[in-house]
Chain A
Amino acid sequence: MEFDVLILGAGPAGLSSSIYTARGGLSTIVISNGRSPLGWAGSIENYLGFPEGIQGSELQKRALDQARRFGVVFGSDEIVAIEIAEGGIRLKGTEDEYFGRTLLLATGHPPQKLSLDGALKFTGNGVAYCATCDGFFYRGLKVGVLGFRDYAVEEALELKDYTDDITIYTNGREPVLTEKYAKLSSQFRIIKDKISKLSGDTVLEYIIMHDGRKEKVDGLFVASGSASSLDFARKTGIITEEDHIVVDADQKTNIEGIFAAGACTSFCRGVNQIATSVGQGALAGKKILEYLGRSAVDYYNMRNTD
C-alpha cells in the first residue's frame, strides 16, 4: 500500500499529526500494534478541554474518530522491518507492506533498557541491536536472537544471509507470533529457558541459563518485544541520544523524509506530556505538508466552508 505519509504509532503525537496531514490533503496511514499506553491511561486531568478529566481509552476513541473523519487510514500491524527506498520509505509489517513518501516515527517511550546482566558490558562486543547493520560481523558464526515476538523472527531471517547457526532465545517467555511468523520460526532453534546472565572475557562468549547450563554464542541480537522507533533508527542511521531520536526544530531527523514526534524524541526527555506530544505531532504534520510541497493552509477547511 502506498501513502504520502506513514505514521508509526497511534498515541497523541501520531494521531494529532495524522489530523494535520489528512486535512492538508495527504493520504495518511497510522500503523499501530494496538498497544499504545494512551488506551489504558486512567483519568487524564492535565489535557486542556476536559475539566472533568477523561479516560485514556475515551480520548483515544475520540481522536481515532476525529482522524477517520478526515480520511486517515488505520493499519493494525506489527512493523518488523524498515528500508529506505527510492523516493520514500518502506515498512514491512506482519500483515502487509507499506510505502510512504514520508514517515513519522511516533512510537512513544523508548523501550526499557535490557536489564540482562552483562548486556551493557558486551554491547558492541557481541551484543547487537540491528541484524541489517551488524549481521555482517557474524558471518558463519553462532548467533542468537533475544525476543519472543514477530520482530525476533524477522531479525533471525535477516541473519540467515550471514550464518546458518541461529537460535532464538525467548528468555522465559512463550513466543507470541502471528501464524505467518510461527511457520517461519520453525526453521530456527528456539530456546525458551530463562537467561541468568551473559558472560565472557572481553567479548560475549556464553549465555548462562537459570539452571546453570551454558550456551556458546558469538553474537546476540536483541529484538525483545516489538520493534520501536529506536530500533528503526538504528537500522536507518537516524541519530539518537540516550535512546531518544534527535529531531530539529521542524521535527525532522537526519534522514531525508523521516520525521519524529512525541515521547520517542530527544526533546521529550525533559517534558513529556499529552499536550506536548499533541503539539509536536501537529508541528510535524505541518512540516510534512511543507516538505511535500503543500501549503500550510488548511485545505479541508476550504473544501468545507459551509
Chain B
Amino acid sequence: MARIELDSSVVYDVIIIGGGPAAINAALYAHRKGLKTGIICKDFGGHVKDTVNIENYLGFMKIDGYDLIEKFKEQIMQFDCYVKEYAEVTGIKKNDLIKITTDDDMVYTYRTAIIATGSKHRTLNIPGELEFFARGLSYCAICDGPLFRGKDVVIAGGGNSAVGAAIDLSKICRKIMIVHRSQFRADQVLLDRMAKCPNIVIYLEHQILEVSGSDFVENISVLDKKTKTQRTIKTDALFIEIGLVPNSSFAKDTVDINEFGEIIIDETCATSVPGIFAAGDVTTSPFKQIVIASSEGSIAALSANEYLNRKRS
C-alpha cells in the first residue's frame, strides 16, 4: 500500500487528472471500488494548499489547507496509488480507449478518465506581471494580504473577490486602492460595506498598463480611460483578483466546454464524451468550494465504475 510511479505500459481502469479535492476524492472512491487507478497532476492540493484557516470543511473547526491536503493524501496512499506528479497533461483523445499525452511527451492509455484539473488565476498579461510575481505581486489578497500590514496596496478587479478582498485588507493595510478597467460587478451589499471603509480609494475606468519597481513592486502605471491620461500610482503590493480560468484548454477539442471554458457535465459528472468524466472547479458546477468539488469527485469515480461495469457486461 503505497505510492507507486505511474507506468505508461499499463492500461489502467481510470486516470484522474489533477491533484485537488475533486481529484483526491475521485481517487479514494475509485480505489475503494477496486479500480486500478492512476493520478497525473502538477502537484497535490491545488488552490486548497495555499488557503489558510479553512472553516467550512465539515469535520474541521479550523485547518490550514496544507494540512488538510496532507490528510487527504495520506488517506489515498493507503491504497496502491499510481502517481505521476509534476507533470501537465497536454492532450486527451478518445477512440476505444483514452489516450493522454503529457508535457514530457509520454503517452498513457486508459479505459476511463476523470478531469479534475481545477482552475488558475486569471492574469492581466501586462509587462512586469511575471517578473514581480511573489515579489509584491500576488493573485490571492486573502492569502498574502497580512504580509502588507500597514502598507499601501493595489487590488485589481471589480467583482466580488476583488471588493471582498478590499474590505478584508482595509482592516490591516494603510491604504487600499481598488483599480478596475470598467464598472463594479460586485454585489451591492459588498459595495455598501466597502463604502464604509475610509481607507479604500476607488479608481474605476482605469486600466493597469504595467507594474514596475527595483526588487519589489513599487509602482503601477494606469490609463484613465475617460481622460485618456496616463499616471503612476505608488504601491507596496499588487493583488490581481480578476477571477479564475478553468484548466481545460488541453481538453477543449475533445469534450464540450462552455463560454467560460468550463467543462460541461451532467449530474453524473459525465462529459460529452462517454468514458470521460469531470469534477470540481474545471466544470460547470456553480460554487468553487472544497466540499462541493470533493462531492463531485466521488460521483465521477462512481460513474466511471458504472461505465466500466456496463462495458464489461
A residues sitting closer than 8 Å to B (CB atoms) are 12, 15-16, 19-20, 23, 46-51, 54, 59, 62-63, 65-66, 69-70, 249-250, 267, 270-271, 273, 275-276, 278-283, 286, 293-298, 300-302, 305-306
List 13 A-B residue pairs with CB atoms under 8 Å apart, sorted by A's residue number: A46-B29, A46-B298, A48-B21, A48-B72, A50-B71, A59-B58, A62-B59, A278-B291, A279-B295, A283-B286, A295-B160, A301-B168, A302-B193
Q: A15-B58, A66-B59, A293-B189 are in contact. Are A302 and B167 (CB under 8 A)?
A: yes
Tell whether B268 is near chain A: CB-to-CB under 8 Å. Answer: yes
* Majority secondary structure, B binding face: helix
A62 / chain B contacts, CB cutoff of 8 Å: 59-61
Q: Is the CB of A279 within 8 A of B291?
A: yes
- Chain B residue contacts of A46, Cβ below 8 A: 28-29, 32, 298
A-B contacts at CB below 8 angstroms, number: 131
> How many B residues have CB within 8 A of the partner chain?
49
Report B266 CB to chain A, min CB distance, Å.
10
Q: Judge whether B164 and A302 touch: CB under 8 Å.
A: yes
Main secondary structure of the interface of A (DSSP, over half): helix
Interface members, chain B 174-200 (any A CB < 8 Å): 186-187, 189-190, 193
A273 lies within 8 A of B164 (CB): no
Cα–Cα, bound, A243→B25 (Å): 29
**Could you say which residues of chain A place their CB within 8 Å of the CB of B57?**
49
Query: Does B59 lie within 8 Å of A50, measured CB to CB?
Result: yes
Q: Which B residue sits closest to A65, measured CB to CB?
A: B61
In the complex, whether B292 has a CB less than 8 A from a CB of chain A is yes
Give complex CA distance A294, B193 in Å.
12
| Extra inter-chain contacts (13) besides given A12-B58, A286-B289, CB under 8 Å | A15-B58, A20-B56, A48-B24, A48-B72, A51-B75, A66-B55, A249-B267, A276-B299, A278-B58, A282-B56, A297-B160, A298-B164, A305-B169
- Inside 8 A of A250's CB, which chain B residues have their CB? 286
Contacts of A48 in B (CB 8 A): 21, 24-25, 28, 71-72, 75, 294
Query: Once the chains bind, are A63 and B286 in contact (CB under 8 Å)?
Result: no
Please name all residues of chain B whose beta carbon is closer than 8 Å to the beta carbon of A51 when the two chains form the complex.
Answer: 71, 74-75, 78
B115 within 8 A of A: no
B199 CB to closest chain A CB (Å) equals: 14
- The residue that B296 contacts in the complex, of A50, A279, A293, with Cβ under 8 A, is A279
Tell me the nearest residue of chain B to A58, going by C-beta: B59
Chain A residue at smallest Cβ distance from B171: A305
